[in-house]
Amino acid sequence: MLAMPLLAVANPVELSTRATCATGLLRCCNTVEAPTALGLVGALLGLLGIVVSDVTGLVGLTCNPIEIVAGAFDPVCDAHAVCCEQNFLSGQISIDCVTAVS
């Protein structure tokens, strides 16, 4: 048997039509990090009045909404599909995110 390597970084994430968020908004973020790993972005969050130590979920950077219209949405996210509680800077920064369930 030959094993085929998986290249998750290079392949878009296919979301099923069942992908949902229990809370928050469905987003596609280029980068998703733990709040403690943010460095300069953490400083920017501080300028926005967001205390990084109060963020309980992941932080998404350069995020776009995944639109749901009449129960369907564009099922491709080329990065990280997440559900986020709050968005700042027109969605460029999203906080309290969790991986979307599909």
List the domain boundaries for the chain: 27-99
Mean pLDDT (whole number) for 60-73? 73
Please state, in angstroms and rounded to a whole number, the distance separating the CA atoms of residues 54 and 74. 32
Mean pLDDT (whole number) for 24-47? 82
Q: Is the full-model pTM beyond 0.95? A: no
Q: Please provide the average confidence, as pLDDT, over all residues in the chain.
A: 73
Please state, in angstroms and rounded to a whole number, the distance separating the CA atoms of residues 58 and 37. 10
pLDDT number for residue 30? 93
pLDDT over 60 (residue 64):
yes
